[in-house]
C-alpha cells in the first residue's frame, strides 16, 4: 500500500508542514537552492518529497508550488532529467563515478537536471569524493537532493553546501487520520481502535504504518482491533491494566502468572515489555495531566484514568522508570523474561522482612542494573556455599535445585522463583532471616516468588543427586 499511495504533490504529504511550506515558497519565488539534504527516519517522506520537488522545479506552470500534473514535463512517464541513484546499491556507486561527466550535459527537456541520491551516507569513498567535487561548483542546470537516515555520517563539507531539511516522525493522530482516509479509498471497514493501534505501531513512520496495515487487511472482512492485536502480536490495554494492578498491589505470584500466560499465548516478551513501558507512561501522563494522551482511544483512556486515580504518583514514576529501563535492557538480554519480571517485582512492596520494602523509591539510572547470567550464577553459588558452611542442608538443597533461569538480579533485588514446596521452606522465618543475612553480604535483597506449576518430583530428586550434596528434602528423606 505504501507504494500505491506515494504522494504526488506537496498537498498529499502529511506531517511535514514546515518543509512543505519552505519548499513551495521557494518554487513560487524561484529561489531554489542547488543542493538539498533531506534527513530523517525511514518512511517519513524524504524520497517522495525529493521526487515532488524535482517535478515541481521542472513544471511549466506550478500550482501553489506544486507540480501541475498537466504540462508536458509533468506528463512525461519517464523523465530523463530526474536521475535517481541509490547509494546503498552497487549500481549507485558506479553511477556516481560517472556523475562528474554526466552533470555537464544539459537537461534533455526540462530546465533542470535533478539528481536524487538516496542513502547518501553509504557512498563509497571514491563516489563520495566525486560527489564533493561536483557539489563544489555545480553547473547552473543541476540540482542535487541528497537523502539520508544517518545525518551524523555526513561530512561537514557536504553539510555546508546543502540546504538541510529534517523530516520529523509523524504524530500518531495524523498517521491515524491518513490511514483512515486510505482505508476508505480501499473500501476497508475498520474500527477506530484498530486504526489507532496500527497508527501507534507505525511509530512515526508512514511507510511502516502502511505495511503493518497491509499485513492486517484480509480481503472481504473488516479490520477489527482483535484482528490487529492477533496479527501484530501486540498488547491489549487490559493485559497491561492487570499487570499494573498486580504490581501496585504487590502480588508477585499474579505478575509472574500473567507474564507466563501472555508468553504461552504466543506474545513475545520484548513486545510485552515495550507495551508495558508505553502503557506505564500513559498512566503516568494521565495521572499528571488528567487528560488523554495522543494515541489512546477513549475507551482505553477511561480505563486508565480509573486506574491512575487509585495509584500514587510516586509509584507510577518508579514503575515507568523500571519498565523503561527493562525495555532497553531486554534487547541485549539472554533471559528477557527475567529482566521483565525483575522490573515488575522491583516496584512491589514486601513487608515480611525478606524483601526490599524501599525499592519503590529507588533510582533506576544505572544501565548495569540487570546482571548477567554469570553474575547471577556466581551469587547463587556463593549463597550455596554459605548455606553449606552453616549446615543448612534443607535450604541448600533448594538452592542446588534452582535452574539459572529462575533467578535474576535487577538493581539490588535478587528474585528467586520456586515451586510451592520450596517456597514454603524459604518462607520459614528462620530460613528467611538467614537468607537475608547472606544476601546482605552481596548487598542484595532476596525476593522469593512462588511459581504456580505442577511439580515433577522425580526430576527434582535426580537433580539433587547430581549436585553431589547431601541434602534433606521436603519429605524429610535423606538423599545422597
Ligand X SMILES: Nc1ncnc2c1ncn2[C@@H]1O[C@H](COP(=O)(O)OP(=O)(O)O)[C@@H](O)[C@H]1O
Binding site for Zn ion (CB under 5 A): 59, 67-68, 71, 74
Q: Give the C-alpha distances (Å, rounded to integers) separating 413 from 339, 428, 440.
A: 11, 20, 11
CB nearer to ligand X: pick between 41 and 328: 41
The residue within the footprint of ligand X, chosen from 10, 13, 213, 344 (CB under 6 A), is 13
Q: Nearest-CB residue to Mg ion?
A: 47
Helix (H) or strand (E) holding 10: none
Per-residue cell: 270:
520484548
Q: Give the C-alpha distances (Å, rounded to integers) separating 421 from 153, 350, 393, 405, 418.
A: 58, 20, 15, 18, 8
Least Å distance between CB 153 and Mg ion? Answer: 16
Least Å distance between CB 64 and Zn ion? Answer: 12
Match 528467611 to its residue by C-alpha cell: 432
Do residues 55 and 74 lie in contact, with contact meaning Cβ atoms separated by under 8 Å?
yes
Stretch that binds ligand X, among 6-14, 104-112, 322-330, 410-418 (CB under 6 A): 6-14
Least Å distance between CB 40 and Mg ion? Answer: 10
- For 318-339, b/e burial (b = at least 16 CB within 10 A) is bbbbbbbbbbebbeebebbbbb
Stretch that binds ligand X, among 203-211, 276-284, 353-361, 377-385 (CB under 6 A): 203-211
Least Å distance between CB 292 and ligand X? Answer: 25
Least Å distance between CB 5 and ligand X? Answer: 4
The residue within the footprint of ligand X, chosen from 54, 145, 146, 206 (CB under 6 A), is 206
SS3 string, 108-153, reads: CCCCCEEEEEECHHHCCHHHHHHHHHHHHCCCCCEEEEEEECCHHH
Identify the CA nearest to 258 among candidates 279, 248, 272.
272
CB nearer to ligand X: pick between 38 and 364: 38
Q: Nearest-CB residue to ligand X?
A: 45
Per rule CB under 6 A, count of chain residues that contact ligand X: 20
CB nearer to ligand X: pick between 2 and 463: 2
Among Mg ion, ligand X, Zn ion, none, partner that 293 touches (CB below 5 to 8 angstroms by kind): none
162 binds ligand X (CB under 6 A): no
Q: In what order do the strands lie in the sheet with 35-39?
A: 82-86, 113-118, 142-148, 35-39, 163-166
E strands in 376-435: 407-410, 413-419
Beta-bridge partners for 471? 479
Stretch that binds ligand X, among 3-11, 105-113, 156-164, 233-241 (CB under 6 A): 3-11
336 binds ligand X (CB under 6 A): no
Binders of ligand X among residues 293 to 322 (CB under 6 A) are none
Identify the CA nearest to 301 among candidates 282, 284, 288.
282
Residues in contact with Mg ion, shown as a per-residue x/- string from 27 to 56 under the rule CB under 5 A: --------------------x---------
463 binds ligand X (CB under 6 A): no
First and final CA of the chain: distance in angstroms? 66
Binders of ligand X among residues 28 to 47 (CB under 6 A) are 42-47
Residues that bind Mg ion (CB under 5 A): 47
Residues that bind ligand X (CB under 6 A): 2-3, 5-7, 13-16, 42-48, 147, 206-207, 210
Amino acid at each position: 500500500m505504501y507504494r500505491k499511495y506515494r504522494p504526488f504533490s506537496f498537498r498529499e504529504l502529511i506531517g511535514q508542514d514546515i518543509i512543505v511550506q519552505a519548499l513551495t515558497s521557494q518554487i513560487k519565488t524561484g529561489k531554489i537552492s542547488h543542493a538539498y539534504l533531506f534527513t530523517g527516519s525511514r518512511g517519513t517522506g524524504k524520497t517522495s518529497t525529493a521526487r515532488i520537488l524535482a517535478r515541481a522545479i521542472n513544471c511549466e506552470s506550478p500550482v501553489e508550488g506544486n507540480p501541475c500534473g498537466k504540462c508536458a514535463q509533468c506528463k512525461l512517464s519517464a523523465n530523463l532529467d530526474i536521475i535517481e541513484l541509490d547509494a546503498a546499491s552497487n549500481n549507485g556507486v558506479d553511477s556516481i563515478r560517472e556523475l562528474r561527466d554526466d552533470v555537464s550535459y544539459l537537461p534533455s527537456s526540462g530546465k533542470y537536471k535533478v539528481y536524487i541520491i538516496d542513502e547518501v551516507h553509504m557512498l563509497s569513498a571514491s563516489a563520495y569524493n566525486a560527489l564533493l567535487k561536483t557539489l563544489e561548483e555545480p553547473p547552473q542546470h543541476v540540482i542535487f537532493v541528497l537523502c539520508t537516515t544517518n545525518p551524523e555520517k555526513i561530512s561537514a563539507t557536504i553539510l555546508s553546501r546543502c540546504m538541510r531539511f529534517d523530516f520529523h516522525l509523524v504524530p500518531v493522530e495524523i498517521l491515524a487520520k491518513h490511514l483512515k482516509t486510505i482505508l476508505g479509498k480501499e473500501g476497508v471497514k475498520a474500527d477506530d481502535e484498530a486504526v489507532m493501534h496500527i497508527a501507534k505501531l507505525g511509530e512515526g513512520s508512514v511507510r511502516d504504518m502502511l505495511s503493518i496495515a497491509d499485513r492486517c487487511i484480509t480481503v472481504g472482512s473488516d479490520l477489527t482491533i482483535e484482528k490487529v492485536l492477533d496479527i501484530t502480536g501486540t498488547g491489549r490495554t487490559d493485559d497491561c491494566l492487570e499487570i499494573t494492578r498486580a504490581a501496585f498491589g504487590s502480588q508477585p505470584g499474579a505478575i509472574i502468572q500473567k507474564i507466563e500466560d501472555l508468553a504461552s499465548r504466543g506474545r513475545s516478551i520484548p513486545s510485552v515489555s515495550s507495551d508495558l513501558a508505553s502503557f506505564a507512561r500513559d498512566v503516568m501522563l494521565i495521572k499528571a495531566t488528567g487528560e488523554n494522551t495522543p494515541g489512546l482511544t477513549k475507551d482505553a483512556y477511561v480505563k486508565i484514568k480509573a486506574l491512575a486515580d487509585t495509584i500514587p504518583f510516586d509509584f507510577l514514576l518508579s514503575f515507568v522508570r523500571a519498565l523503561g529501563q527493562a525495555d532497553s535492557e531486554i534487547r541485549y538480554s539472554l533471559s528477557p523474561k527475567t529482566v521483565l519480571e525483575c522490573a515488575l517485582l522491583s516496584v512491589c512492596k514486601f513487608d515480611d522482612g525478606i524483601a526490599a520494602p524501599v525499592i519503590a523509591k529507588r533510582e533506576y539510572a544505572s544501565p548495569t542494573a540487570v546482571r548477567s547470567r554469570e553474575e547471577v550464577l556466581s551469587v547463587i553459588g556463593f549463597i550455596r556455599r554459605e548455606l553449606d558452611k552453616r549446615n543448612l542442608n534443607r535450604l541448600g538443597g533448594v538452592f542446588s535445585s534452582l535452574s539459572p533461569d529462575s533467578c535474576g538480579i535487577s538493581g539490588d533485588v535478587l528474585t528467586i522463583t520456586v515451586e510451592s514446596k520450596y517456597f514454603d521452606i524459604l518462607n520459614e522465618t528462620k530460613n528467611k532471616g538467614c537468607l537475608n543475612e547472606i544476601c546482605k553480604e552481596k548487598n542484595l535483597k532476596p525476593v522469593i516468588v512462588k511459581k504456580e506449576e505442577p511439580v515433577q518430583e522425580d526430576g527434582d530428586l535426580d537433580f539433587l543427586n547430581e549436585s553431589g550434596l547431601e541434602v534433606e528434602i521436603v519429605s524429610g528423606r535423606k538423599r545422597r
